[in-house]
Amino acid sequence: MIITPSILTANFCELGKTMDEAIAAGIEWIHLDVMDGNWVVNRTITFGPALIKSIRDRVGPNVFVDCHLMVTNAEENWEQYVDAGVDMVIFHVEAVEDIQGLIDKLHARGCQAGAVLNPATDASTILPYLSSLDLVLVMSVVPGKGGQSFMPEMEEKTRTFRAAIDAQIEDGGRATKLMIDGGIKAHNAAQVAEWGVEVAVVGSGLINDKGSIGENLAEIHRALGA
Ligand code: DX5
Ligand code: ZN
C-alpha cells in the first residue's frame, strides 16, 4: 500500500524542507489538500495553485502530485491546478454537476482524474463513472482538517469499490486506484490495506513533532509488514 503525505500539519514556512525530507524517506506521491474557506464545514482555507506550483518545482517531475479539491467551484477553477503542475485532480462528487464532463476535460489536458466521496455519500453516486476514473478516494474523516479520528464505518463502502474495480479490471477495464484519506496511522494501516486500499493519505501520522517523516513512515511500513 502506497503511503502519501498530506501536508496540512506541516509548518508552511518549512515546506521545502518537509518535501525534501519526505522524498529522502522514500515518498513518491504527495497529497495536497486545497480548501477554499467555504466548502468544508469548518470553513478552512489552506492554499492554492501558487503554492502547488512551488511544491511541484521543489519535488521535481518524478514525484506524483495530486490535489484534493475541497472547493465550491471545482468545475470552474480545476484548470489552474493542472497549470500548476499536478498529475491528478481529485474532485468531490458532492461539488460537481457534470462529473463525466470534468473527467473528460481533465483527461483532455493530460491530467488524471480522481473522484472523492464524503463519508455520508453513497458509493452509487460514482459507480457509473468508475470506468473513466483513474482513482476513487473514500474519505474516512469529514473533510476540513488533519488530525481527526478514523471512521471504521467506511469499510463497507471501501470494499464495494474494491469489488467493483476488481470486476472492471477482470473485464479488461481501467485499473482505477482506490485511496483512503483521514485518520490513517500505524495502528489502522493494515486494516485498510486488508479492505483493498492501494493508496493511503497520512497527514498527522507522518508530519508531526513525535518523529521524523522517515521514522513515522518506517513505523507504518512495519505495521504493514513491509
Ligand atoms: C482532511 C484532508 C486529509 C487530512 C489527512 O480534510 O483531506 O487529507 O489532511 O490528515 P490526517 O491523516 O491527519 O487525518
Ligand atoms: Zn485530503
User: Which residues touch 194 (CB under 8 Å, ≥6 apart)?
Assistant: none
Does this model's pTM top 0.95? Answer: yes
End-to-end CA distance of the chain: 9
| Contact predicate 173/165, CB 8 Å | no
Q: State the pLDDT at residue 146.
A: 86
Distance between Cα 66 and ligand 1 center (Å) = 14
The pLDDT, as a whole number, for residue 145 is 85
Q: Where are the domains of the chain?
A: 2-223
40-74 per-position pLDDT tens digit = 999 999 999 999 999 999 999 999 999 999 999 99
Q: Please tell me the predicted confidence (pLDDT) of residue 125.
A: 98
Other C-beta atoms lying within 10 Å of the C-beta of residue 110: 8
Q: Which three cell numbers stand for residue 212?
A: 521524523
Residue 73 confidence (pLDDT):
94
87 flagged as catalytic: no
Residue 117 CB contacts under 8 Å (≥ 6 apart), including other chains: 92, 93, 94, 123, 125, 126, 136, 137, 138, 139, 157
Ligand located closest to 203 CA: 1
Q: Is the CB–ligand 1 distance for residue 200 below 6 Å? A: no
User: Which residues of the chain fall below pLDDT 50?
Assistant: none
Ligand 2 center–CA 31 separation, angstroms: 7
- Strands (DSSP E) contained in 71-221 are 88-92, 112-117, 135-139, 177-181, 199-202
- Closest ligand 1 atom, CA of 184? 12
The question of whether 98 is a catalytic residue gets the answer: no
CATH of domain 2-223: 3.20.20.70
**Amino acid at position 224, single letter:** L
8 in ligand 1 pocket by Cβ < 6 Å? yes
Task: Among 139, 145, 197, say which to mutate for ligand 1: greatest number of ligand atoms within 8 Å of CB.
Answer: 145
What's the confidence (pLDDT) of residue 136? 99
**φ/ψ (deg, to 5) at 55:** -65, -45
Out of 33, 36, 66, 134, pick the active-site residue.
33
